[in-house]
Amino acid sequence: MTAITNRRLFTLSVLTACMLPSTLVTGFFGMNTKDMPFQTGDGGTWYALLLVIAAGALTWWLLRRTKAL
């Protein structure tokens, strides 16, 4: 039972670490402030989405590199 619980907590921790960058980016772009990046040109949403994916991929890579996964 302990091993199963540890495995589930590990999975939850990894998912939380991978979602953290996207939460930060979406929180940043969700602020109603002046002069936000990507708001003047077309396709700003896609650039923000690429930034979220890149941040998640970087987090995944860092976790793999430090042997956390």
CA distances from 39 to 35, 36, 48, 61 (A): 8, 6, 10, 29
| pLDDT of 3 higher than 80 | yes
**Sign of the CA dihedral 23, 61, 17, 14?**
positive
pLDDT of residue 47: 78
20 DSSP 8-state letter = H
| pLDDT per position as a tens digit, 6-44 | 989 988 888 888 888 878 777 777 766 566 676 777 777
**Sign of the CA dihedral 26, 32, 36, 42?**
positive
**Sign of the CA dihedral 36, 51, 30, 38?**
positive
pLDDT of residue 68: 63
pLDDT of residue 25: 74
What's the pTM value of the predicted model, to 2 decimals? 0.55
